[in-house]
Chain A
Amino acid sequence: MAATGKLQSVRREWRERDVRVVLAALIIAVATVATIALFASQLQSTLVSSASSFLAADRQLESENGQPLPPAWLVEAQQRGLETAEMTEFSTMVFGGGNFQLVSVKAVSDGYPLRGEVEIRTGFDESRQTLQSGPAPGEVWINPRLLRLLELNVGDELELGTRKLVIGSLLEREPDGGFSMAALAPRVMMHQTDVASTSVLQEGSRVSFVYLFAGDAAELLGFEQWLQPQLQPSQEWRSVRDGETLSASLERAESFLLLGGSLAVLLAAVAVAVASRQYAVSQRDTVALLKTLGVGSPRIGRLYLRRLAVWGVVGMVGGLLVALPLFWGLSQLLGDVLDQPVDVYLDPKALTPAVLTALVSLFAFAYPPIRRLRKVPAMRVLRSQPGESRRELVPDFIIGIVGVFGLVWAYAGDVQLVIALLVGLGLLLATLVLLGWIMVLGLRKVRGGGNAWRLALLGLYRHRQASLSQIAVFAMTLMLATTLILVRTSLLDDWRAQLPEGAPNHFMVNISPGAVNDIDEFWSSRGQPLDAMYPMVRGRMTLLNGEPVKEAVSKDERVNALNRELNLTWMDALPENNRIVDGEWFTPGKTDGVSVESELAGKLGITPGDTLTFTIGSEQITETVTSIRSVQWDSMTPNFYVAFSPDSSLRQLPATWITSFFLPKTEKNELNAFSRQFPTVSVLEVDNIIERIQLIVVQITQAIEAILGLILAAALVVMAAVVSATLQDRQREGALLRTLGGRQSLLVRATMLEFALLGGFAGILGVVAAEAAVYALQLRMFEGNFRVHWQVVLPIPFISAVVLSLFGRWQLRPVLTVSPMLLLRRLE
């Protein structure tokens, strides 16, 4: 009964224009935020599962110290409902066809890969097939190049330790074939159960044991929480996020979604604020009338509070009803883009921000002006009373700011983001105050004349208060939308810069010093010149300022670089994608000094002037740190934690050389000639990985564009809501101007110009504020270099002017089609 009553009251209220606007704003708010949150969650799960194949699982646990992992952990994971598999990786010599070759073995258990696929061929002329399993016991799959090096055929036997294994297939691609310096030799994949029979693994062998896990996020998290306290420093828990190349892309995409969602929250709040304010103003006469009928302030307060609560429910339910089909549509779109069916995954947690947005928008924005309705004097019925003083608006403003930033904070969990937006908005408001002052001073001088320009300027002056608040809302909307466009542009630029066309897609390692020139010549003569070649000496960092380096590091910091040998190098020139962040690069002729990578330096607290001692075989070298250098790890070129000066004592130690180069797919056959001529050099083919990263980048880009489109649509709706808040006033004015002899064409031109000026001003302010916000964001979230994006920034004020002038024209429509007399009477 009560529910029916409520429904009827909603229906009755729906007939009021202002209520329609508030409810529409609320529904749009909930729908936008819910769609984005749902889609972001879907995207994340889709992308992560697509990217998980880089680990062949959702998570990996690796032991690098040669000690096997406790089998009980696998059992625990299985009991928790996770899928598991095992992997053992080691290097060894294989013998076959009268040849020896150092290989990198990966022994996999049943179940491997948990994510992604293995690609094999049964012969050079056969087509590739994809499988979700590894080789059967007794069989090996080997790198095609190894087959040539050993001069064997598929079906032949290969000796691995004391065991003979049949070459079952050629291994073309493995899902976790990530690039790691440790795996330099050609790959041999075998079954885990055959490892013991090879007798290759002895006490002290260099081997890494890996457990693979896959399952849903909650189970994985639960297992991780159970596992973490038990992990040794040499045991590493890895998720997709920890992989170097992909994680940066994924994190940026997530930041973007977060930012997009936060901006949607802000836009939604603005829309609700504007609409509910308008509603409160329209309710003053009603409240005054109720008071004359004897209704007291507390009852009026309760009445409106109840109304807000009902709106909240209607907004949430309506918003979700709009969001779900939208989300479903976007998910299908994602499926089309990825060219694979997407499991629509409705994350109930993703709905929380939408519900919170509705509640905060209603109670931080809509409630304060409505609450003040209680104070409307009954006298208003008899005589128009002055409106609210500006002082009364101050608490509204403060509650609003606190509400919205609390909301963004709760949503994004990132204080920096909140501060960046606050700075942008603060700048915007300060500029607005200045602009308002200039407008009042400047436009007051415009007098007389009936041309459209003068009328438009007069219009701005006449509606200076409304104009300024509209400019504020438009500018804010544009700022938010522009910020998103700018961030998207810089994200895409960064990604493109990261893996440009022709980026190196092959590495050559294990090059002996004597072969350096011959190899260079080999590729140059084939039109594929090499990038810079770097010497490589393997060694451990042992002492920092004379103290054992592991003791110098706090226990909380687990530094991988300390658990294994580092590739040390010496270099003349700073590589292209390295930057000196502290100290100075080696000066020619100086023989001492080392340059340390900035993240490692940060974790170990190394600054220029510190001394580092390295143990290389039986030798020890101590050097002073002369520079700290940032390295772009995802650049697909050889990167080093530690670089020595070109004339350092490292030169005296035996080194092999490494380089990377670009080889087009069509030239892949050259690798066979190369392997025959330089059999000891290992070639790492990362072209497949690059292709997959590029595919994922394309996916993320498309998803980001879909979300951007959604937010721009929401921005447009906010603008429409704001413009329509003054619809009645403007229509009345239009009708009056026509009655007073204003010609239609003049009215149309003047109104369109007035709105174009509004849009232009707002556009300029919006992009300036957006650049400021992006500058602040860029410093923290996206790690890009800030620059002004003219090509994005310049068209926005223009587009905003055009869009708003069309809005203005649309508002004027009834004024032009209906008799002004009728309109005046209707609007009274």
Chain B
Amino acid sequence: MNQSNDQTPPKPHVILRVNKLTHKVDLESNTLTILQGVNLEINQGDSVAIVGRSGSGKTTLLGLLAGLDTPSEGSIELDGANISALSEDERAALRAQRVGFVFQSFQLLPALTALENVMLPLELAGRQNAEARARELLQRVGLGERLTHTPRQLSGGEQQRVAIARAFACEPAILFADEPTGNLDNHTGKDVSDLLMALNREQGTTLVMVTHDEQLAARCGRQFHIEGGVLSEPETRQKAAL
């Protein structure tokens, strides 16, 4: 996947391109601008951290990038498709094929076992080998012995591992992570972020992560800061990550 060519480095494939993105929310008395004039280009295989304080608009940005919502102004191109122009169903189809998610609060379905939770996106995408693939991924995240446990029977770290296995189940081109270690202690958080990074590398996935954990952000190739809805990239360490 990552075959480099020493003579002419291939032109990096831009997987996510954001142009003049603005997002406003109408409140009862006034209109709140959450994001303002955001421009962003992310290449295939990049790992990107968006850092900012609570309420700075980072989760909203993540949701827009993933096509979960449509912006008030501006355009977002995800893997060549202008998601602002896509219908809800077309965006869903794009997510099913190309996008994975990891949430701060894990978002596992409580009625399902670990195995069934991981199988869910595979079943939605109509994959035939859903169970085998889910087993394999759960083995990979170290939960091979906990397949039949429900989220309630798992610790927070274990739940997030299941969520990570689910995120990688459909081999997404891009993975969005919203504070993936936000609900975990330092030690567990580190384990989970190690796993996330490792899988990201193994699968060549693009990672876009929202976090306020500076240490976790430092492990990403690029870091952006967001404050008052404005995005900036103070320092680029793209190469360091590779």
B111 on interface, CB distance cutoff 8 Å: yes
Return chain A residues, CB-CB under 8 Å to B121. Answer: 740-741
Q: Which residue of A lies closest to B88 (CB)?
A: A744
Residues A462 and B109 in contact, CB atoms below 8 Å apart: yes
Q: Kindly identify, within residues 722 to 750 of chain A, every residue whose CB is under 8 Å from any CB belonging to chain B.
A: 729, 732-733, 736-746
B59 on interface, CB distance cutoff 8 Å: yes
B191 on interface, CB distance cutoff 8 Å: no
A740 to B101, CA, bound (A): 7
Residues B105 and A828 in contact, CB atoms below 8 Å apart: yes
Q: How far is the CB of A601 from chain B (nearest CB, A)?
A: 63
Q: Mark B193-205, 1 if CB is under 8 A from A, else 0.
A: 0000000000000
**The one of B60, B88, B123 that contacts A448, using a Cβ cutoff of 8 Å:** B123
Residues B123 and A386 in contact, CB atoms below 8 Å apart: no
Return chain B residues, CB-CB under 8 Å to A822. Answer: 63, 69
Q: Kindly identify, within residues 124 to 141 of chain B, every residue whose CB is under 8 Å from any CB belonging to chain A.
A: 124-131
Q: Mark B48-85, 1 if CB is under 8 A from A, else 0.
A: 00000000000110110010110000000000000000
Residues B124 and A821 in contact, CB atoms below 8 Å apart: no
A509 to B88, CA, bound (A): 84
Task: Given A386-B152, A450-B124, A819-B68, verify A739-B109 contact (CB < 8 Å).
Answer: no
Residues B68 and A820 in contact, CB atoms below 8 Å apart: yes
Residues B69 and A744 in contact, CB atoms below 8 Å apart: no
B122 on interface, CB distance cutoff 8 Å: yes
**The one of A463, A736, A744 that contacts B89, using a Cβ cutoff of 8 Å:** A744
Residues B152 and A384 in contact, CB atoms below 8 Å apart: yes
Q: How far is the CB of A470 from chain B (nearest CB, A)?
A: 13
Residues A824 and B107 in contact, CB atoms below 8 Å apart: yes
Return chain A residues, CB-CB under 8 Å to B92. Answer: 738, 741-744
Residues A447 and B123 in contact, CB atoms below 8 Å apart: yes
A736 to B123, CA, bound (A): 14
Give the number of chain A interface residues (Cβ < 8 Å).
Answer: 37
B165 on interface, CB distance cutoff 8 Å: no
Residues A449 and B123 in contact, CB atoms below 8 Å apart: yes
Task: Given A462-B109, A462-B116, verify A737-B152 contact (CB < 8 Å).
Answer: no
A454 on interface, CB distance cutoff 8 Å: yes
B14 on interface, CB distance cutoff 8 Å: no
B15 on interface, CB distance cutoff 8 Å: no
Return chain A residues, CB-CB under 8 Å to B232. Answer: none
Residues B107 and A736 in contact, CB atoms below 8 Å apart: yes
Task: Given A448-B130, A740-B96, A741-B92, verify A462-B101 contact (CB < 8 Å).
Answer: no
A337 on interface, CB distance cutoff 8 Å: no
Return chain A residues, CB-CB under 8 Å to B101. Answer: 739-740
B230 on interface, CB distance cutoff 8 Å: no
Residues B109 and A450 in contact, CB atoms below 8 Å apart: no
Return chain A residues, CB-CB under 8 Å to B123. Answer: 447-450, 454-455, 458
Return chain A residues, CB-CB under 8 Å to B225. Answer: none
Residues A449 and B126 in contact, CB atoms below 8 Å apart: yes
Question: 8 other contacts beyond A729-B111, A741-B121, with CB at 8 A cut-off?
Answer: A450-B123, A450-B126, A465-B111, A733-B109, A740-B101, A741-B99, A743-B93, A744-B88
Q: List the interface of chain B (C-beta within 8 A of A).
A: 59-60, 62-63, 66, 68-69, 88-89, 92-97, 99, 101, 103, 105, 107, 109-112, 116, 119-131, 152-153, 166, 170
Q: Which 8 A-B pairs have the closest CB atoms?
A: A741-B96, A450-B126, A821-B63, A819-B69, A821-B68, A741-B95, A740-B121, A743-B89
Provide 25 A-B residue pairs closer than 8 Å at the C-beta atoms, listed in order of the A residue: A447-B119, A447-B131, A448-B127, A448-B129, A450-B125, A450-B126, A462-B111, A733-B109, A736-B107, A739-B101, A740-B95, A740-B96, A740-B101, A741-B94, A741-B124, A741-B170, A742-B124, A743-B93, A744-B92, A746-B124, A819-B63, A820-B68, A821-B68, A821-B69, A828-B105
